[in-house]
Each structure stands twice: as C-alpha cells, then as structure tokens.
C-alpha cells in the first residue's frame, strides 16, 4: 500500500487556499503528477465542517475543474484550531495520525503556513514542541517540511531574526521559503535557455550586452482593502526584494555545476553579494520612487485610497539603476522597475546588445544616437515567450534597413494551458526539491541591497514623484537611462 502525503494548510480559510493552492493541486491530480496519494487538511480558527469547506471550495472553482473535484473532495478535511496554541495542536496531531492510518510516522507531512509572517515563529515553535517536525535528514518517508509565504521579514534585521528563529526548530532542508515567480514557466526556462544553448551563452557578457531591463508592470491599484497592507510595504519591499531580484539573479548568475538546489542557489547568492550598494548621495540619481495620482485609469490617487495613511510616503512605483560588480557584468547597467496602476500589465526582461562599431548602411547620422537593432526579450507574463530582434535589408536598390523579429511563444508547443506557478512549486515541496525556493543567506543578501536604498531615502529626504494612473510611470524614471542607452519598454 502506497502511503499518502499530507498537506496541512494553516490559514486555510484565506484567499490563497481557494484561489491558488487547491486549484494547483487539482490540476496536478488531473494530470497524474502527484508523486503519491494526498490528503489535504485545512486548519483555521473558523468553525466549519469538512463538508462545508469542500462545498465552499467547489463553488469557487472554474467549471473545467468541477468534474475532477468530485473525486478529489473526499481527500479534503477541516480541523478547527488556533495554531499558535500548543494544546490545540495536540488535537490536530491526533487527527493527522488517524487520517494517516497504520504507521503514521511513515507518512510525509508538508505544513503550509498561509499565515501572517508574525505567526511563522510561534506556529513552528508549537509544532516542534508537539514533536510534529521530527524526521531524519534526507528521509524518504516520514519527512516533515514547512513552507512559508512572503514577505520573509521587512528588512535585513527582521529577516535575519526570522531565519534564526525558524532554524532553531528546523533544518535548512526542511524549510521552503516560497516565491511564486520562480514557479513561472518562463522564469524556470531562463536556466535552460541560457545554459543549454551555445548560441546565447557566449553573448551573455558585458562585451556584447549594453544594458538589461527588468520590468514588472501592473494595472491593478489598491482594489478592495489592499491599501492598508500595501501602505506598510511599498513597491520596493513588496516586489523588488523578491520577484525582481530573483529574476535578476537568474539573468546574471554564472553557470551552476548542476541544477541541484545548492549549486543554483550558491550562484544566486554570489550575484546578490556583488550588487553594488547605492550610497545615499547617489540615491536621487539612481533610484526613482513615485505614487500614482488620479488619471485615465482611476479617478483617485494613492493618497485617497482606503486604508492609506494621510500624507503617506509609501511608493507605488520604483525604478532602479543597479550595477553588478563581477567580471561578466562590470559596467552593464541593470534597470529595474515595477509599479501599480500603470498603462499595461506585463513582465519581461530585455537584453539590449551593443551596436556594431561602424554603421555600413550610412543611414544613421553621425550626431544622433545609433539605432540598437539587437534585443532579446524574455516575456514572462501575460504572454510567455522569447523574441529576438535584428535588422534586415529592404528589397531593392540601396541599403534601406528595417527591423525584423524571430519569436517563440509557449502557445506554439500546443500546450492548452501553461501550468500555474503553484503547480510546480507544490510538487517540488512534496518531493523535497528546493531549487526553486529561497535559501536563508539568499534572502538576507537581497535585503541588504534593499535596506541601503531605504536608508538613502531617509537620509536624503528623496523626492516622491507622481504619475497619472494608467500612464507608463513618472517621467523622471526615464533619466535612469543615460545618454544613448535607450528608454523603457512599453511591453508586448
């Protein structure tokens, strides 16, 4: 008899469970991708029955998953408990053992903490005190793992303290710090695209690449009650510290020895440590922060949103000109930007290649910026694919040139639906594969870079610009491109 895995979701009454985790599990269930049978135990202080939880989840699912849910629903169970109270975890422990059947110590358990970050430490401490985390290193059965969502800390000291707290109860191999961007198909493909294709990797250096642009642009603003949470975070901590820096690391890292977790994460940490700290006197030159104001896409600005403090200085947009001091990237600017209430929703990486030393066509005037014909666009959302641009000659006499493109779209593979990021990440956590999860020193190195920027803002009273909701962003951000380096992408 194949022993089941148990996925225990703390905070199961929240939006993440219904919107992401259960649909991801269902898709994997339909595809036959789950490594073993699974039982899902939702845990919350909310009073409800397993039948009521199942019905609530069923009503929120897309119609395409309705049939599969009939077979999956008996695997879902509800337990009411305050997970920060050890006495109530005793009851949960008993329920888990009963559901597991004979020899419950041989059943693998994945504890998913879909909770406020301040509860991570207390919950893990209670699990440890109840003996619910004990397992041998590299255990093939009876393993115990914990997944925590972002944000992992709010700055370097808090992230370091949280690491120390959690690692006093868990080994690093048991702790899975999730960043759902790493589960996106195109983000994962960065590794294979770079290191499995000899035509690209030799060009991936400062000798050929003039600049790199990483954009995560969103059209959403502070819908619902999000303003209260966002006002305590801002774009720098909410998006740059994790999503953008993770993409940057995959673009800038050296080839790992293998795709084993530590080999990949070692190279990412080297990138974060090589990020040049931006001194306070250069913050205004290299970093632009802004808030959206009323505009074509929204009739009120950020300061008028529900839950936002009067006079708040929280940024809804940030753009950074960063530098990586390595042999591969010295002198190449990495331009990062992210923002809310922008003109278009897209995430992409653009590598701008250097121009030829001489323009043989004679088209470009000598006193103007030369046209940069060669770019490589790695599109992450909403359209996932790769586009390579180059110049070709127009048919006929003369040397009239025009732009052309070669592209690849994931839809061309005939896949009806690209898997959601959580599908891959949940499978990896169940298998104990941590390559796409964050390591403790990786998180701390990223926070070190972010904290320098925040300190610079505070030390210099850096200005907070505004931009109309529905626009491409604040005009001062354009100045982060120096001279003839180009301008921000407008997306697909």
Please write the tens of the pLDDT for every residue from 374-398: 899 999 888 888 899 988 877 877 7
Q: Where are the alpha helices (DSSP H) in 167-321?
A: 185-195, 226-230, 235, 245-252, 261-274, 283-286
pLDDT above 70: residue 361: no
Identify whether residues 15 and 79 lie together within a single domain.
yes
Work out the pLDDT band at 429, boundaries 50, 70, 90.
very high
Work out the pLDDT band at 331, boundaries 50, 70, 90.
very high
- Tell me the average pLDDT across 77-87: 86
Identify whether residues 12 and 126 lie together within a single domain.
yes
Q: For residues 148 and 138, what is the distance between their CA atoms, to the nearest angstrom?
A: 20
Identify whether residues 121 and 187 lie together within a single domain.
no
> Are 198 and 225 a contacting pair, CB within 8 Å?
no
28 Cβ contact list (under 8 Å, min separation 6): 34, 423, 426, 427
Identify whether residues 195 and 124 lie together within a single domain.
no
Work out the pLDDT band at 145, boundaries 50, 70, 90.
very high
Q: Residue 488: inside a domain, yes or no?
A: no
**pLDDT tens for residues 45-62?**
888 899 999 999 998 888
pLDDT of residue 191: 85
Q: For residues 277 and 471, what is the distance between their CA atoms, to the nearest angstrom?
A: 30
Q: Residue 119: inside a domain, yes or no?
A: yes
The b/e string for 387-404 (b: 16+ C-beta within 10 A; e otherwise) is bbbeeeeeeeeeeebeee
Q: What letter does residue 40 receive in the DSSP assignment?
A: E
pLDDT above 60: residue 364: no
pLDDT of residue 281: 92
Identify whether residues 234 and 341 lie together within a single domain.
yes
pLDDT of residue 338: 97
Q: Which of 63-67, 131-135, 430-434 has the lowest mean pLDDT?
A: 63-67
Element (H, E) at 348: strand 346-353
- Domain of 420, CATH number, reads 3.30.360.10
- Domain of 54, CATH number, reads 3.40.50.720
For a pLDDT cut of 90, what percent of the chain falls above it? 61
Q: pTM for the whole thing?
A: 0.91
Nearest by Cα to 104 from 134, 75, 125: 134
Identify whether residues 222 and 132 lie together within a single domain.
no
By annotation, the residues acting in catalysis are 243
Identify whether residues 125 and 246 lie together within a single domain.
no
**pLDDT tens for residues 291-310?**
999 999 899 999 999 889 99
pLDDT of residue 180: 86
Q: Residue 491: inside a domain, yes or no?
A: no
Q: Torsion angle, CA of 211/214/218/224, rounded to 10 degrees? A: -140
Domain end: 102, 125, 149, which one?
149
pLDDT of residue 270: 96
Q: Residue 487: inside a domain, yes or no?
A: no
Element (H, E) at 51: helix 50-60
Overall number of domains in the chain: 2
Q: For residues 154 and 255, what is the distance between their CA atoms, to the nearest angstrom?
A: 31
Q: For residues 241 and 239, what is the distance between their CA atoms, to the nearest angstrom?
A: 6
Q: Residue 270: inside a domain, yes or no?
A: yes
> Are 440 and 168 a contacting pair, CB within 8 Å?
no
Q: What letter does residue 64 receive in the DSSP assignment?
A: G
Residue 122: which domain range?
A: 5-149
Identify whether residues 470 and 371 lie together within a single domain.
yes
């Amino acid at each position: 008899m194949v022993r089941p895995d148990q996925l225990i979701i703390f905070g199961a009454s929240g939006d993440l469970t219904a919107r992401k985790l259960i649909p991801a599990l269902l898709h994997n269930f339909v595809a036959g991708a789950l490594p073993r049978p699974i039982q899902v135990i939702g845990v919350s202080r909310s009073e409800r029955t397993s039948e009521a939880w199942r019905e609530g989840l069923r009503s929120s699912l897309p119609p395409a998953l309705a049939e599969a849910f009939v077979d999956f629903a008996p695997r879902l169970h509800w337990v009411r408990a305050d997970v920060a109270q050890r006495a109530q975890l005793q009851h949960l422990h008993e329920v888990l053992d009963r559901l597991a059947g004979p020899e419950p110590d041989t059943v693998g358990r994945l504890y998913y903490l879909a909770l406020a970050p301040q509860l991570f430490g207390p919950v893990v401490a209670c699990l440890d005190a109840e003996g619910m985390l004990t397992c041998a290193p590299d255990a093939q059965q009876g393993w115990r793992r914990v997944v925590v969502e972002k944000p992992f800390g709010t700055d370097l000291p808090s992230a370091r303290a949280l690491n120390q707290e959690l690692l006093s109860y868990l080994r690093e191999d048991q702790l899975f710090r999730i960043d759902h961007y790493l589960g996106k198909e195109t983000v994962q493909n960065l590794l294979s695209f770079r290191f499995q294709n000899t035509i690209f990797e030799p060009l991936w250096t400062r000798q050929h690449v003039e600049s790199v642009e990483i954009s995560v642009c969103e059209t959403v603003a502070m819908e619902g009650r999000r303003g209260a949470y966002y006002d305590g975070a801002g774009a720098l901590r909410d998006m740059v510290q994790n999503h953008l820096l993770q993409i940057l690391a995959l673009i800038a890292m050296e080839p790992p020895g293998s795709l084993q977790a530590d080999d990949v994460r070692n190279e990412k940490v080297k990138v974060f440590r090589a990020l040049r700290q931006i001194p306070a006197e250069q913050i205004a030159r290299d970093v632009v922060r802004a808030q959206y104001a009323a505009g074509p896409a929204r009739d009120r600005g950020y300061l008028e949103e529900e839950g936002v403090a009067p006079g708040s200085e929280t940024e809804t947009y940030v753009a950074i000109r960063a530098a990586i001091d390595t042999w591969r990237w010295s002198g190449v600017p990495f331009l990062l930007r992210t923002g809310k209430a922008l003109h278009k929703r897209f995430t992409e990486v653009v590598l701008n290649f250097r121009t030829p030393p001489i323009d043989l066509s004679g088209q470009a005037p000598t006193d103007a910026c030369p046209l940069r014909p060669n770019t490589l666009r790695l599109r992450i959302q909403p359209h996932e694919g790769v586009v390579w641009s180059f110049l070709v000659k127009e048919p006929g006499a003369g040397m009239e040139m025009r732009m052309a493109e070669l592209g690849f779209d994931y839809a061309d593979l005939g896949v009806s639906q690209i898997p959601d990021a959580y599908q891959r990440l949940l499978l990896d956590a169940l298998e104990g594969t941590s390559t796409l999860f964050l390591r403790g020193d990786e998180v701390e190195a990223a926070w070190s870079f972010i904290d320098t920027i925040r300190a610079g803002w505070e030390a210099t009273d850096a200005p907070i610009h505004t931009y109309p909701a529905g626009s491409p962003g604040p005009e001062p951000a354009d100045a982060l491109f120096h001279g003839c380096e180009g301008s921000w992408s407008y997306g697909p």
